[in-house]
């Protein structure tokens, strides 16, 4: 996976999106408010889907109020070079996104009452999603060498570092009452039940009709057709959308169309080795 990168505390970042200063600020100086909500993911785990769900919940399902801004401005990634100006303009309660690993996350969070929603996805589907994404997001030098891409991902040579370290780091918080953990696959299997659980975690009381609206306007088809959620407003010097769509397939198990049997076995072996020290089964493991 090629992109112009630098390392900060052992994790790989893009010179185009982050800087030493933006990361140091995010880690050491950024002020977390008690009513902040953080949408945290490893890239391609369903970050934007969760932004849409959360903004709809905040607006009691109202699609007009929820779609006033393009999705990438609704919950800025607070560690990036460009986010601070947008964040200064935000009203509380703020909804912010982050792909940061646990060990670099804002120190002030750990002394606050703010909440984190962490979405995890089958890493094989993340690899496929990211592989296609590198063909549209211009910070990446795209490749057709899937094996090489898989090797880079498996070794943690990826934007925001190793998926394994990311998940293991954040899972240290799994019993913390400020931390809510869900999988992309759970969202796919039972979106209504997931929305109800998220509302409960956030202390948001929505009636049945409002929950129906959240489900309707966060559906893949709805987000793909909506210019405020499908990223088509991103300038062409940032994204080349002739090579694909941000909202690509929105399914689980697409890895089966990309991995050979040998590649799947190779990745499973690495997965078992790297994840053996956390005693957790994820929802995709039964079906994959």
Smallest gap from Cβ 49 to ligand A3P, in A, equals: 4
- In the stretch 151-180, what mask flags binding to ligand A3P with x, by CB under 6 A? ------------------------------
> Among all chains, which residue has been given the structure tokens 């990036």?
80
Q: Rule CB under 6 A: choose which of 136, 223, 228, 239 binds ligand A3P.
A: 223
Smallest gap from Cβ 29 to ligand A3P, in A, equals: 26
Q: Which of residues 107-136 bind ligand A3P (CB under 6 A)?
A: 125, 129, 132
Burial (0-12, 13-18, 19+ Cβ within 10 Å), 25:
middle
Decide the pairing of beta strands 115-120 and 37-41: parallel
Q: Is 251 within 8 Å of 287 (Cβ atoms)?
A: no
Q: Is 23 in the site for ligand A3P (CB under 6 A)?
A: no
Say how far apart CA 99 and CA 130 lie, in whole Å. 14
Smallest gap from Cβ 233 to ligand A3P, in A, equals: 15
Smallest gap from Cβ 256 to ligand A3P, in A, equals: 12
- Residues paired with 14 in a beta bridge: 5
Burial (0-12, 13-18, 19+ Cβ within 10 Å), 13:
buried
- The H-or-E segment that residue 12 falls in is strand 11-14
Q: Rule CB under 6 A: choose which of 8, 30, 49, 181 binds ligand A3P.
A: 49
Q: Is 77 in the site for ligand A3P (CB under 6 A)?
A: no
Q: Rule CB under 6 A: choose which of 33, 220, 266, 282 binds ligand A3P.
A: 220
């Amino acid at each position: 996976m090629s992109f112009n990168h630098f390392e900060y505390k052992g994790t790989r970042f893009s010179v185009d999106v982050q800087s030493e200063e933006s990361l140091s600020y995010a880690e050491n100086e950024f002020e977390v408010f008690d009513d902040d909500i953080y949408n945290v993911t490893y890239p391609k785990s369903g970050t934007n889907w969760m932004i849409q769900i959360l903004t709809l919940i905040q607006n009691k399902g109202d699609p007009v109020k929820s779609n006033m801004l393009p999705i990438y401005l609704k919950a800025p990634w607070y560690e990036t070079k460009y986010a601070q100006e947008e964040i200064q303009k935000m009203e509380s309660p703020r909804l912010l996104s982050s792909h940061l690993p646990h060990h670099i996350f804002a120190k002030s969070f750990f002394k606050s009452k703010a909440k984190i929603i962490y979405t995890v996805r089958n890493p094989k589907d993340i690899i496929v999603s990211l592989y296609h994404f590198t063909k549209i997001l211009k910070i990446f030098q795209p490749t057709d060498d899937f094996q090489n891409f898989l090797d880079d991902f498996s070794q943690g040579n990826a934007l925001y570092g190793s998926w394994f370290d990311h998940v293991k780091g954040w899972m240290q918080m799994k019993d913390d009452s400020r931390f809510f953990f869900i999988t992309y696959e759970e969202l796919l299997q039972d979106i209504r039940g997931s929305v109800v659980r998220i509302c409960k975690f956030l202390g948001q009381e929505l009636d049945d009709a409002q929950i129906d609206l959240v489900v309707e306007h966060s559906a893949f088809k709805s987000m793909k057709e909506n210019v405020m959620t499908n990223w088509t407003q991103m300038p062409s010097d940032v994204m080349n959308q002739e090579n694909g769509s941000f909202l690509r397939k929105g399914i689980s198990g697409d890895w089966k169309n990309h991995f050979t049997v040998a590649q799947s076995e190779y990745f499973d072996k690495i997965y078992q080795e790297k994840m053996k020290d956390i005693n957790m089964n994820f929802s995709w493991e039964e079906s994959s």
